[in-house]
Amino acid sequence: MDIPRIFAVREANHRIHNPVTAEKLAVLGQALHLEPGTTALDLASGSGEMLCTWARDHGLSGTGVDLCALFTEQARARAVELGVGDQVRFVHADAAGYTTDPVDLAACVGATWIGGGVAGTVELLARSLRPGGLMLIGEVYWRRPPPDRETVEACEATSEDDWLDLPGLLTQFGDLGYDVVEMVLADQDSWDRYTAAQWFTMRTWLDQNPDDELAEQVRAELRTEPARYARNTREYLGWGIFALRQRT
């Protein structure tokens, strides 16, 4: 089982599969005051950059779970590269319903569909979190109201109601019984690092794989995606990582 191959083509060179830069990830790691020995579970861990760098920088240890074989391989290689291969491990598996013994930090950064949305993902992570532990959720929100149907669809929503705005999302975490204790948000520049970097990867891939079954799709995306992104996504889609603690 794996994710559709097109994602691995577009994001083969990404260390972070989200609109957050290495700098922002480091800022978040510092902001969380992680103690050495903190244990973590990261559902949909991608290429493992969060766990690997926080293992190196803060002495964290833990497990990442991801459905993409390529990203999981890259995560294992990154752990070795950063010298934290004995602290973190990466499992190639479906993270939906995945639970472990309670950890100090349970995360799902940019894949809340694995729990059927924010509420379900909070509930899923809570099953593996020790009392008083820290939860991380990465999620989209409307930075500006979408002006038309084209923008809604470009932001991968079926209707405007699929995403909240930032105050709405923060309120939702409260309604679920959690205090929001930190957040790091994407900005347009960090969106470019996620999205524009895909174009470079796709063009390089296309030059090397002109006859691949995905070549036509990639060729078409390269023609339309930059302008579509600038017109319908860059100004409208917000994204952030939110740190939550259950209310007592």
Binding positions for ligand SAH, rule: CB under 6 A: 3, 16-18, 44-46, 49, 65-68, 71, 94-96, 109-111, 114
Shortest reach from residue 247's CB to ligand SAH, in Å: 26
Contact 180, 242 (CB under 8 A): yes
- Tell me phi and psi for residue 217, to 5 degrees: -65, -45
Sign of the Cα pseudo-torsion (20, 24, 30, 31, in order): negative
Smallest distance, Å, CB 148 to ligand SAH? 27
Position with the least CB separation from ligand SAH: 46
Nearer to ligand SAH, 92 or 143 (CB): 92
The least CB distance from residue 94 to ligand SAH, in Å, is: 5
d(CA 111, CA 134): 18
In the complex, minimum distance from the CB of residue 59 to ligand SAH, in angstroms, rounded to a whole number: 21
CA–CA distance, 45 with 90 (Å, rounded to integer): 8
CB of 145 to ligand SAH, least distance (A): 25
Q: Which is nearer to ligand SAH, 175 or 237 (CB)?
A: 237
Nearest distance from residue 49's CB to ligand SAH, in Å?
6
CB closer to ligand SAH, 93 vs 149: 93
CB-wise, 65 or 218, nearer to ligand SAH?
65
**DSSP assigned state of 114:** G
- Estimate the share of the chain in helix, then strand, then coil, as percent rounded to the nearest 5: 45, 25, 35
Give the span between the Cα atoms of 142 and 224, in whole angstroms: 22
Closer by beta carbon to ligand SAH, 49 or else 139:
49
Query: Is the distance from CB of 201 to CB of 10 less than 8 angstroms?
Result: yes
Q: What angle (nearest 5°) sits at the alpha carbon of residue 33, between those of residues 167 and 115? A: 50
Tokens representing 73? 């391989």
The smaller minimum CB distance to ligand SAH, of residues 97 and 147, is found at 97
